[in-house]
Structure 1
Amino acid sequence: MKNLLMLFMAVVVSSTAVAQKKVGGVVLPATQKFQEHTLQLNGAGVREKLWIDLYAAGLYLDQKNKNAQEILNSDKPMAIKLHIVSKLISSDKMVEAVTEGFEKSTNGNTAPIQNEINTILGFFKEDITKNDIFDLVYIPGKGVVAYKNGKEKGVVKGKEFKKALFGIWLSNRPADDGLKDDLLAAN
């Protein structure tokens, strides 16, 4: 009986370890359900600036993939989770960072999607505090659904916009090269 109990405890502990990933001092779930889509964690890492952890990020896909271009060009459900881990992140700093990210991911050609960019930036304009969680979820045929702390903030349509948004982390000029590698870990 004692051996059976020990085996049961080992299974519970190992399945819990697989069910999540700790990164940047926070735990990201191994799977996320958005509407009717269940997505799995492809990779996770931390966005740093000057040795300060800003946010933990997780890339969620319908199936694991290490190819950034395939991910950016695909028309499949996907999500990026941003868990704020620093008190230094403010609304203004987030808007500035996302704006810079769009500039880089589009090689400076934001004009065709500027209205969509303005809409997504609006979702970052209310106060941001440590432990806020943003989920940016692409649903084919619908667009990018933005959530803050589990509450839907709005939808931004367009596959080109989705490509530029996810390009902030996955393009040839990502916000953070190390974070890009971590998001594409697909382990």
Structure 2
Amino acid sequence: MKLLPCLVLIIALFASPILHAKMVSGINVPGSIVVNQQSLVLNGVGIRSKFFMDLYIGSLYLVSIQSELEKVLEQPVAVIRLDITSGMITSDKMADAIKDGFDEVTDGDSVYLQAEIDQFMALFNDEIMDGDQFTFVLTRGKGVASFKNDQPQGEIPGELFRQALIKIWLGDKPAQKSLKQDMLGQ
């Protein structure tokens, strides 16, 4: 009889990563990732859509599950991952959307972050295709490291820039409210 509880525990431990992974619009979103030897869990995932078209899957990974922006900003490391699901996304459209996002989160006064924003915008100069994946590793007190399809793109230092980038998806004026709610697991 003691064998049954042990068997259930073993199955639960092995199945746990599988159960937490999600399939969203044909994209397998892992339940956890490791960044700089730090294990992060999937906080939430959602779809960014516009005019009834899915553009990308946005996922948020944190050290511990959080449902409020303030708690996300306090995390030592956070990852925002964008899986492009539409050929309608071009480098120009992505750059415009990111620029609009920074304008929203800074109430149109992004001058104090302009050097960092320009550096970040340059990351989108190369062609963007359906299936591309952008990963932004946001380290508290340091800034943002960007990867495209697991290849390093660059690093942008600065805590204020890190916070502004997070707020594009999770702030008071997010890119899409339903995506914010999904990424925060609400």
Query: What is the TM-score when the length of structure 1 is the normalising length?
Result: 0.89
Match runs of 1:96-175 below 5 Å? 96-175=96-175
Percent identity between matched residues is: 35
- Residue 22 of structure 2 corresponds to 21
Q: How large is the Cα RMSD of the aligned pairs?
A: 2.2
- Counterparts of 1:88 and 1:13, CA distance in 2: 39
Contact 2:105-2:164 within 8 A present in 1 as well: yes
Whole-Å separation in 2 of the counterparts to 1:54 and 1:91: 13
Aligned residue identity for 1:67: E
Match of 1:67 in 2: 68
Aligned length: 181
The 5 A counterparts of 1:31-110 are: 31-72=32-73, 74=74, 76-110=76-110
Q: What letter is aligned with 1:46?
A: I
Give yes or no for contact 2:18–2:31 (8 Å, CA) kept in 1.
no
Unaligned runs of 5+ in 1: none
Secondary structure of the residue that 2:145 maps to in structure 1? strand
| Partner deviation per Cα, 1:42-88 (whole Å, 9 max, x = no partner) | 0000000001000001001110000113323x251001000000011
- Following superposition, the deviation at residue 33 of structure 1 comes to 1.2
Structure 2, unmatched stretches of 5+, are: none
Alpha carbons of 1:15 and 1:63: their partners in 2 closer, same or farther (altered >3 Å)? Answer: closer
